[in-house]
């Protein structure tokens, strides 16, 4: 995230109508103190979707997930858990769509 810090701080300052210094302090503090797990993410997204009109959806697009996962079965399980938690807690209102040029099943055995 370090390579995007300045861009994120600039966007935060603009979106929140704060000074860049204030946005930078908020960003740096959040990086140090904010922790989230899969269930926590799903709850945050459910709460977000509950605050929107009926029929509102959110879609996460992940390109070339096979390159990221490689032979790491734990990463594949994490992705599966995220999709399952979103499906369960968000009741079909949050979707995860991935692409991969590799056969993921073959990559992880």
Render pLDDT for 64-107 as a digit per residue (tens, 0 to 9).
888 888 888 899 999 999 999 999 999 999 999 998 886 656 65
Residues 27 and 52 in one domain: no
Q: How far apart are CA 96 and CA 109, in angstroms?
A: 22
The total of structural domains in the chain comes to 2
Residues 9 and 59 in one domain: no
Q: Are 104 and 65 in contact (CB under 8 A)?
A: yes
| Interval 91-101: pLDDT, tens | 999 999 998 88
User: How far is 103 from 22, CA to CA, in rounded Å?
Assistant: 46
Same-domain status, 47 and 79: yes
The C-alpha torsion from 83 through 45 and 3 to 67, rounded to 10°, is 10
Q: Please indicate, yes or no, whether residues 29 and 59 belong to a single structural domain of this protein.
A: no
| Residues spanned by the domain of 8 | 1-35
Distances (CA, A) of 96 to 25, 32, 93: 32, 27, 10
Reply yes or no on whether the pLDDT at 47 is more than 90: yes
| pLDDT, tens only, 17-39 | 999 999 999 999 988 888 889 99
Q: Tell me which DSSP letter residue 54 carries.
A: T
* pLDDT score for 86: 95
Query: 43 and 5 share a domain?
Result: no
Residue 49 has pLDDT above 90, yes or no: yes
């Amino acid at each position: 995230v370090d390579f995007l810090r300045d861009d994120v701080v600039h966007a935060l300052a603009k979106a929140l109508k704060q000074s860049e210094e204030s946005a930078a302090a908020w960003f740096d503090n959040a990086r140090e103190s904010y922790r989230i797990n899969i269930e926590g993410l799903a709850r945050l997204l459910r709460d977000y979707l509950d605050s929107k009109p009926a029929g509102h959806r959110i879609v996460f697009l992940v390109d070339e997930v096979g390159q990221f996962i490689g032979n790491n079965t734990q990463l594949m399980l994490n992705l599966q858990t995220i999709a399952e938690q979103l499906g369960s807690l968000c009741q079909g209102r949050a979707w995860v769509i991935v692409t991969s040029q590799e056969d993921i099943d073959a990559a992880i055995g």
